[in-house]
A and B are shown apart, each in its own frame.
Chain A
Amino acid sequence: DTGVSQDPRHKITKRGQNVTFRCDPISEHNRLYWYRQTLGQGPEFLTYFQNEAQLEKSRLLSDRFSAERPKGSFSTLEIQRTEQGDSAMYLCASSLVTGIAGTEYIMNTEAFFGQGTRLTVV
C-alpha cells in the first residue's frame, strides 16, 4: 500500500459525458502529479501541483481536461465531453518537496503512485 488513494478504480462512461476522478495523496506530501497511461506505453505526464498551485501542464492536457487541488490536499481531474481516445489509466502520484524554491537548497523526494483509475469511454 503506497498511501496514495484514487477513486474510482474503474469508470465506464459514454462518449460525450463528463467524468471526475479523485486523488488523495500521502498526507504530508505537498506535490501531486497526474499521469495518463495507455496500453503498452509508459505513463505520460499531465500536470502537477505544488500545494494548491498548478505549476506545470503538459500539451496532453487539452482544454477538456481540468485539474484542481483547492486546499492543497486531495485533487480532482475532470474530463469534459469524453472521447474514445480518452480511454486510459489515469495515475496520481505525490512527493514531498522541502527547502527554498528556486535555490540549490530544494529537495524533492521520490514519488509514490496510486493504483490508478481505469477509464473506458464507449
Chain B
Amino acid sequence: DAKTTQPPSMDCAEGRAANLPCNHSTISGNEYVYWYRQIHSQGPQYIIHGLKNNETNEMASLIITEDRKSSTLILPHATLRDTAVYYCIVRVGYGGSQGNLIFGKGTKLSVKP
C-alpha cells in the first residue's frame, strides 16, 4: 500500500505558486520522498526527491518538515502546462534492494488562467 496521503485535487491560478502537500507519517530513516507528475496520457515524470534537507531544482522546490512526517512540493510560478496528477512517494533510496515506487492516487492539480 502507498505510504502517503495527498488531497485528491487542487486548483491554482496561472502564475501563482502551487503548494502540494503530502503526509508520510510512517516514513523510515532510509526512505526518500520522491515527487513525480503525470500529464494526461504520458508516463510519469520525475520532479524532485529529498531525504531530510529542502531541495530545489529547475522544476520545483521540496520542503520536508524536520520530523520528516510531511512535505510540500512547490511549483513557484505555475503554468497551464503544469496541469497534471502529482504523486508523492516514499521509497528506499539506500541500504536495501527494494526501490520499486508505490503510487497512490496523487493530487490532480488544475492550473487555471
Which residues on A are within 8 Å of B, measured CB to CB? 2, 4, 31, 33, 35, 40-45, 48, 50, 55-56, 91, 93, 95, 97, 99, 101-108, 110-116, 118
Knowing A107-B93, A108-B92, the reply to whether A43 touches B44 (Cβ < 8 A) is yes
Q: Is B113 in contact with chain A by the CB < 8 A criterion?
A: no
Q: Is the CB of B104 within 8 A of A106?
A: no
Assign chain B's interface to a size class. 20 to 34
Question: A55 CA to B96 CA in the complex, in Å?
Answer: 13
Residues of B within 8 A of A35 (CB): 103
Residues of A within 8 A of B44 (CB): 43, 91, 93, 113
Interface majority SS (helix, strand, loop, mixed), chain B: loop
Q: Is the CB of A115 within 8 A of B93?
A: no
Partner of A104, one of B46, B91, B94: B94
Question: A4 CA to B36 CA in the complex, in Å?
Answer: 16
Q: How many residue-residue contacts, CB under 8 A, span A and B?
A: 73
Interface majority SS (helix, strand, loop, mixed), chain A: strand
Question: A45 CA to B100 CA in the complex, in Å?
Answer: 7
The smallest beta-carbon distance between B51 and chain A, in angstroms, is: 12
Residue of A nearest to B44 (CB): A113
Q: Is the CB of B105 within 8 A of A55?
A: no
Residues of B within 8 A of A107 (CB): 93-94
The smallest beta-carbon distance between A25 and chain B, in angstroms, is: 13
Knowing A45-B102, A56-B100, the reply to whether A114 touches B95 (Cβ < 8 A) is no
The smallest beta-carbon distance between B54 and chain A, in angstroms, is: 17
